[in-house]
Structure 1
């Protein structure tokens, strides 16, 4: 049994990624072209196998992007499919309707990407999607998606923060996990029947780095029809009201408060639900 909480939801979404054609860049194992129709956050691509037989980069190229709002950017996460445990993340990238890559994962296995966020709208259409593993020598030569790399506007520093935060998890029951690069700590857990104002366990941010503080949800449901959850980050203060660090709306994906830049004890609280009165989340990750 493969542990992947979003797979069933993605299949039921009625949104299909169909392989339309295949092209093979020089020195790369393989690639495919397809499209995206009516995706919502947490939908997954088809899977592909990387046998790690070369040093080709793994990337995703978008062309002809639209949403039911005004398309600006789409957050994508690369995952490796693993049996009997949650699929590990290989990091997140922001696609501005062009090229993004994860360089060479250097790890043989089955991969897919997930729509993690949309800056505007709740549904995504892309006329052409190319998933090409590219040889490093192809960089800047006009290989699929590489010429559009100028569309990749996020700085390396921002990507580093996103990667550190997203891999980071928060175990609300305080079971620590491995520390991602550039992040102080992380935990992973779940939420079971939370009602409004329910609070997470506390974690200590020593402010020893500039890693972003964020919360990632995967596998969300309510006693009605889950749409989104409002989360509020607080810094705990003795003998005084706890200090608010702001609210974020989680659509069953990633939200962050950047770097609070303020050492202390932190927690998040459930402030709102779009539908229903109780919240369940199969997997919760928090990084700081």
Structure 2
């Protein structure tokens, strides 16, 4: 009799373990971080060399879009950079945004490939003398 109860407990324990593992797997998948993220903001009277806020990217491409730009020079040179501690920040290619100066809904965007996991930011108009206004900027990564 004792061995029957023990066997029944073992079987129900196995079922509970399988169900528990299944639930843990589903919860793990549902709570895993999204592969893509984004944020939006504005730029108000940015001096040359303006640096955006930093964001963490787990890897993948980056797209930066400006909508409705204003500046004396009608160009925004946008450079993606990786924020490194205790060493110079590498800079990746620079995209020249010009279309966003063509009206309220005009946009310009740049795409950067995967530069690995890390903290990133973009800089605008290094070496220029013009200030920049952007009604909407969006960073997708």
Structure 1-normalised TM-score? 0.33
Give CA-to-partner distance per residue, 1:98-137, whole Å, 9 cap, x none. 11111222x1000000013487x6110000000012xxxx
Q: Select the residue among 64, 67, 74 that pairs with 2:68.
A: 64
Would you say how many aligned residue pairs link Structure 1 and Structure 2? 100
Larger Cα-atom Rg: 2
Gaps of 5+ in 2: 1-33, 101-107
Q: Select the residue among 95, 99, 103 that pairs with 2:109.
A: 99
CA distance in 1 between counterparts of 2:121 and 2:87 reads 16
Gaps of 5+ in 1: 1-26, 134-288
1:51 pairs with 2:58: yes
Q: CA deviation at 1:91?
A: 2.0
Assess, with a 3 A threshold, how the Cα gap between structure 1 residues 102 and 113 changes in structure 2: closer, same or farther: same
2:50 aligns to what SS in structure 1?
coil
CA distance in 1 between counterparts of 2:63 and 2:78 reads 11
1:30 pairs with 2:40: no
TM superposition outliers: structure 1 runs of 4+ over 4 Å: none
> Which residue is equivalent to 1:82?
84
CA distance in 2 between counterparts of 1:64 and 1:28 reads 28
1:108 pairs with 2:97: no
Greater relative contact order (Cα 8 A, min sep 6): structure 1 or 2? 2
Q: CA deviation at 1:28?
A: 4.2
Judge conservation of contact 1:75–1:118 (CA < 8 Å) in 2: no
CA distance in 1 between counterparts of 2:140 and 2:48 reads 22
Judge conservation of contact 1:78–1:92 (CA < 8 Å) in 2: yes
Q: CA RMSD in A?
A: 2.0
CA distance in 1 between counterparts of 2:68 and 2:47 reads 17
Deviates more, 1:42-51 or 1:110-119: 110-119
Say which structure is richer in helix. Answer: 2
CA distance in 2 between counterparts of 1:28 and 1:65 reads 29
CA distance in 1 between counterparts of 2:69 and 2:126 reads 14
